[in-house]
């Protein structure tokens, strides 16, 4: 049973560029959430996708956008990169029918460095 | 703001001994879930244990157990018979029972296990 996978593992971009990060959820999961984890901090919620729609959004600017595909995989796009966007980006999957399984399962993350 | 606070940035324990990590949280909801996640240097966020707020009984998972004090909004993690592989960052997180699956994390506690 494959867990949550993310690609790429590492990424280096220049200020002002755009980046796309990818996530495949755990088998049987239909909901994907994205988190940003700055160095030395806990993860911060960016947004969540279910049924190909953004269901909830954290306190992040519109430069952060996403997409969910019919197979439940997801992309996180960040435009006009800033130095402060350097962080570990975590994808987490879960099942919308959360009463049975309320926990989220995380991928290994993508380390984004903006220079 | 509904926050999660981990007051111990770092903790250390001798192998085979017991250590307790602290977590307090702020919420206006009566029903919610609490989690402890472990993040080793590999970066993968691994679920350690979960607690439903409506349950009075403290959750246990092998060597890991929690002390959940709902009135005090406290949720500590006890690790018994500590092993070298327990060394990691530990994050406390909360999510509401209904609606949003957004996780709110604390800043983490770095646990060192000394041989």
B4-114 architecture in CATH?
Sandwich (2.60)
Q: What is the mean pLDDT of residues A90-114?
A: 85
Q: Which two tokens stand for residue A21?
A: 């990060």
- Could you tell me the residue ranges of all domains in chain B? 4-114
Q: Which of B47, B91, B97 sits opposite A103 (nearest CB)?
A: B47
Q: Are A36 and A46 in contact (CB under 8 A)?
A: yes
Q: Beta strand pairing status for A105-106 and B64-69? A: unpaired
pLDDT at A114: 98
Confidence of residue B96 (pLDDT cuts 50, 70, 90): confident
pLDDT in tens, B15-71: 999 999 999 999 888 888 999 999 998 888 999 999 999 888 999 999 999 999 999
**Share of residues in chain B with pLDDT > 70 (%):** 96
CATH topology for A5-114 is Immunoglobulin-like (2.60.40)
Residues of A with Cβ-Cβ distance to B38 under 8 angstroms:
none
**Share of residues in chain B with pLDDT > 90 (%):** 77
The Cα B115–Cα B112 span in angstroms is 10
Confidence of residue B102 (pLDDT cuts 50, 70, 90): confident
Half-sphere exposure (Cβ direction) of A79: Cα atoms closer than 13 Å? 6
A52: left (phi > 0), else alpha (psi -120 to 50), else beta? left
pLDDT in tens, A41-84: 999 999 999 989 999 899 999 999 999 999 999 999 999 999 99
SS3 of residue B91 by DSSP: strand
Residues of A with Cβ-Cβ distance to B42 under 8 angstroms:
108
Chain A CA closest to residue B38: A106
Handedness of CA B29, B65, A38, A78 (dihedral sign): negative
pLDDT at B97: 73
């Amino acid at each position: 049973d494959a867990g949550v996978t993310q690609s790429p593992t590492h990424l280096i971009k220049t200020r002002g560029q755009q980046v796309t990060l990818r996530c495949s959820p755990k088998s049987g999961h239909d909901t994907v959430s994205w988190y940003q984890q700055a160095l030395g901090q806990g993860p911060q919620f960016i947004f969540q996708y279910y049924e190909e729609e953004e269901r909830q959004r954290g306190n992040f600017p519109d430069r952060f956008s996403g997409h969910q595909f019919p197979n439940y995989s997801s992309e996180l796009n960040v435009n006009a990169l800033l130095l402060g966007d350097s962080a570990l980006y975590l994808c987490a999957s879960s099942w919308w029918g959360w009463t049975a399984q309320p926990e989220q399962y995380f991928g290994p993350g993508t380390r984004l460095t903006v220079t | 703001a509904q926050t999660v606070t981990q007051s111990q940035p770092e903790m250390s324990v001798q192998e085979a001994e017991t250590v307790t990590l602290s977590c307090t949280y702020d919420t206006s909801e009566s029903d919610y879930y609490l989690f402890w996640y472990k993040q080793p240097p590999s970066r993968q966020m691994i679920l350690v244990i979960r607690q439903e707020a409506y349950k009075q009984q403290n959750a246990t998972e092998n060597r890991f157990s929690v002390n959940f004090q709902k009135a005090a909004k406290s949720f500590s993690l006890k690790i018994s018979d500590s092993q070298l592989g327990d060394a990691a960052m530990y994050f406390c997180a909360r999510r509401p029972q209904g609606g949003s699956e957004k996780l709110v994390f604390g800043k983490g506690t770095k646990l060192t296990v000394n041989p």
